[in-house]
Structure 1
Amino acid sequence: MTIVRQPTRAGVRDAAAKMADLLPPTPLLRARIRGVELAFKAESLQPIGAFKIRGAWHRLTALDEEARARGVVAFSSGNHAQGVAWAARELEMPAVIVMPDDAPKVKRDSTLSLGAEVVGCNRFTDSREKIAAHLAHARGAVLVPSFDDAWVIEGQGSAGIEAEDQFDEIGWGTVDHVVTPCGGGGLSAGLALALPDAQLTIVEPEGWDDMRRSLEAGWIEEVPDDAPYTSCDSLQTKRVSQLTFDVLSRRGATGVAVTEAEIRAAQRWAAAKLRLVVEPGGAVAIAALLAGKVEPQENMLVMVSGGNVDPEAYAAVLGRSD
C-alpha cells in the first residue's frame, strides 16, 4: 500500500522559511468594505503574478539531485505552470507543462519565456492529468500536481505565515478570519494549516463551487459536465483532492459562490481601491465581500491570489459598469 505524505503545519513553516530566503513578503494592503478595514494579501505581485510560486518552490527544492536532473512535469491552465517553470529555471531543472489550448495567452507565453516546454491539450476532451502522468513516466520525471501534493499545499500555506507576521507588525494581533479563492484547494488548505485558529471561508465561481458543496455534503462532489462558463480559468477544477478536502473539512471551513458580474465588480474595485490588476480567479474573495456573501470583520485577511489577466478581457471589464 502506498502511503501518501500528509501536509503539516511544520511543513508550512519550513516552506515559509524557504520563501523568506528567496523573496520579500508580498504587500499587505488595507482598505475598507462597508466601513470595516480589511487586510488584502497581494499575491498578484509575486514575480509570476500569483501565489503558485510558493508551492512550486517548496516542492522542487525538496527533490534530490538525481530527481532534479530528470526534471518535472506539471499540468495547469497557467499560474501553477508559471510557478513550476520559474522554480525549475532557478534550480536549472527541465520542466514540461501540459496546458489547455484555450489557456490565456499571457500565461502560456510567460510559461514559455521561463524556459519550460509546453504540451497542449483540449480542456474538454483530454485529461491533462493523464497526459502529464504519461509524460512523467516516459521521461522519469517527477509529477508536480497543482494542489494534490503535500509539499505544494505547505508551500501555498507560507502566505499565511507571512500574513500572520505582517498582522503583528501593524499591531493587528491575530488573523481571525481568512477569505480566500479556491480552485483545487491548495491555497485554502495551506492557509488552514498555517492559521489553525482562524475561521476560513473559501470562495469559488458559481457552477464551479465543488469545494463548497463537498464541505456541506461531507464527501467530494465533482463539478457537473454542464457547468456554466466562468472567466476564472485558474479555478476551473473539476474535482478537488482528498488531501485538500480532508484538511478543510477537519478545520470546519465553509464556502460561498460568486457570479460573473460580482467578479467583474471586484476586479474594478481592486483597481480603484488597491491599485492592483487582479485576474478573475484572484478577485473572487473580494467579490464575496462586496456582494455581502461574507460579512466584513476586524482582523480579516483577504487573499488576492493572482493578477495574470488577458489585456483585452481586462480592458473590457474595466469599461463595463455592471
Structure 2
Amino acid sequence: MNIEMIRAAAKRLDGHARLTPLLTSPFLDEIAGRRVWIKPECLQHTGSFKFRGAWSALSALDPDVRRAGVIAFSSGNHAQGVALAARMHGVAAVIVMPRDAPALKIANTRALGAEVVLYERGSQDRDIIGAELAQSRGLTLIKPFDAPQVIAGQGTVGLEIAAQAQAAGVEQADVLVCCGGGGLTSGIALALDTDAPGLRVRPVEPQGFDDVARSLASGQIERNAATSGNLCDAIITPQPGDLTFPIMHRLCGPGLTVSEDEALYAMAQAFLRLKLVAEPGGAVALAAALCRQDAIDGDDVIVTISGGNVDPHLFAQSLESLT
C-alpha cells in the first residue's frame, strides 16, 4: 500500500464519488472545548464512505474478471457500496449479510440489485461462507477492509481532509476515525502521512469491541471476545486486518472508545447542530470529540461521520436521549 495507489483510486473515483465537505458548528465547538471539523461521509453515495472502496476495487478489476460478478460480506454499508458499484458497472453482486443487520441496510442492498445471503453472526463464519460462494460461482471477493484497492479507495477521504484542512488553516490536529477492521483508518493515515503530516489519525471504537485500540497498545493483533451485541454494528469486527494493522501501528495515535449512550448522544448532536443523520457506528468519532476532551490534544479536532444508515426507531431513540 502506498500514496500512489490512493491517488490512482482518486482518479478512478473522480465523477463517481461525492466530494464531501468539512463542516463546523459553534455549538459543537463549545461542547468539545475546541474547534470541531466534521467530514460527513454519511452524505456519500449509499450513505457511507464504503462506496469509495467498493468503486476503487471494482474499477481496478480486469474487465473479464469483473464481468463474472462480485461477492462481498458486510453488515450493511460495504454491502450497499458494492451493490451500487456493481450495478453502475453492469455486473452481478452477491452480498453475505448477518441476519441481525439493520433492516434498512438489508432492504437497501436488495433494492440496489444485489442478491442477499443471510447468516447467523454468532454461529457462522462470514469469511468461509463468502469464500465458498465465490469459488462455486466464479465470483471475485471484494473484502470489506483488508484489501489494497479497498484501502486505497477509503484513503481518498484522507486526501480530501488534507486539502480541506490546509484551506482552513488547520496544520496540527487529531483526526478521529470511526474504526472497524481499519480500512478507512489506515487509508486516511496513509494519505495524511504524505499530504498533511501534522494531522494524526486516532481510531475510535465502541467499548467492549476495542480490538484496534488494544492491538495498537500491545503491538500485535488482538481479537474481540464477542462479535455482536452493540448498537455500533457497522464497525464491529473480530480483529484488525492483516494489511490494515501494520499501517495503523506505524502511523496512528492511541485508540479511543465510547459507550453506546455516548454514540446516541453524538447522533443527536449531529442532527440538531448540523442536520446530519448518523448511525451509531458512524457517530463514535464525534462522540469521542464531545465526550473525551481530555484525551485529545490541540485547538482543533477533525472527525469522520462514516455512515448514516440507521433504522428510524433507533434514530428516534438517539433524539430521545437529549430529553
User: What residue is the counterpart of 1:90 in the other structure?
Assistant: 88
Give the drift of 1:174.
3.6
In structure 2, what is the Cα distance between the partners aligned to 1:23 and 1:131? 30
User: What residue is the counterpart of 2:222 in the other structure?
Assistant: 221
Matched-pair contact (CA < 8 Å) for 1:172–1:299: no
User: What residue is the counterpart of 1:14 in the other structure?
Assistant: 8
Query: C-alpha deviations, 1:205-229, integer Å up to 9, x for none?
Result: 000000000110111110014x773
In structure 2, what is the Cα distance between the partners aligned to 1:19 and 1:167? 21
TM-score normalised by the chain length of structure 1: 0.93
Greater shift after overlay, 299-308 or 94-103? 299-308
Q: 1:42-81 residue pairs with structure 2 within 5 A?
A: 42-81=40-79
In structure 2, what is the Cα distance between the partners aligned to 1:166 and 1:252? 20
In structure 1, what is the Cα distance between the partners aligned to 2:273 and 2:75? 28
Describe the SS at the equivalent of 1:40.
Answer: strand
Query: C-alpha deviations, 1:230-279, integer Å up to 9, x for none?
Result: 10010110121111100001114310111111111111111111211100
Unaligned runs of 5+ in 2: none
Amino acid across the alignment from 1:250: R
The change in CA–CA distance for 1:175 and 1:93 in structure 2 (over 3 A counts) is: farther
User: What residue is the counterpart of 2:200 in the other structure?
Assistant: 199
User: What residue is the counterpart of 1:176 in the other structure?
Assistant: 173
Amino acid across the alignment from 1:287: A
Give the drift of 1:38.
1.9
Matched-pair contact (CA < 8 Å) for 1:164–1:175: no
Query: C-alpha deviations, 1:290-316, integer Å up to 9, x for none?
Result: 112542633432111000001011112
Give the drift of 1:173.
4.6
Cα root mean square deviation, aligned: 1.6
User: What residue is the counterpart of 1:3 in the other structure?
Assistant: none
User: What residue is the counterpart of 1:25 in the other structure?
Assistant: 19
Q: 1:1-322 residue pairs with structure 2 within 5 A?
A: 7-31=1-25, 32=29, 33-169=31-167, 171-174=168-171, 176-196=173-193, 197=197, 198-225=199-226, 229-292=229-292, 294-295=295-296, 297-321=298-322
Amino acid across the alignment from 2:173: D
In structure 2, what is the Cα distance between the partners aligned to 1:150 and 1:189? 11
Matched-pair contact (CA < 8 Å) for 1:85–1:111: yes
The change in CA–CA distance for 1:172 and 1:9 in structure 2 (over 3 A counts) is: same
User: Higher helix fraction: Structure 1 or Structure 2?
Assistant: 2
Q: Percent identity?
A: 44
The change in CA–CA distance for 1:248 and 1:287 in structure 2 (over 3 A counts) is: same
In structure 1, what is the Cα distance between the partners aligned to 2:287 and 2:170? 25
The change in CA–CA distance for 1:26 and 1:175 in structure 2 (over 3 A counts) is: farther
Runs of 4+ in 1 over 4 A off after TM superposition: none
In structure 2, what is the Cα distance between the partners aligned to 1:176 and 1:9? 21
In structure 2, what is the Cα distance between the partners aligned to 1:23 and 1:130? 31
In structure 2, what is the Cα distance between the partners aligned to 1:62 and 1:264? 37
Amino acid across the alignment from 1:30: T
Amino acid across the alignment from 1:203: V
Unaligned runs of 5+ in 1: 1-6
How many pairs are equivalent? Answer: 314
Matched-pair contact (CA < 8 Å) for 1:179–1:303: yes
Give the drift of 1:91.
0.4
Give the drift of 1:36.
1.9
In structure 2, what is the Cα distance between the partners aligned to 1:224 and 1:160? 31
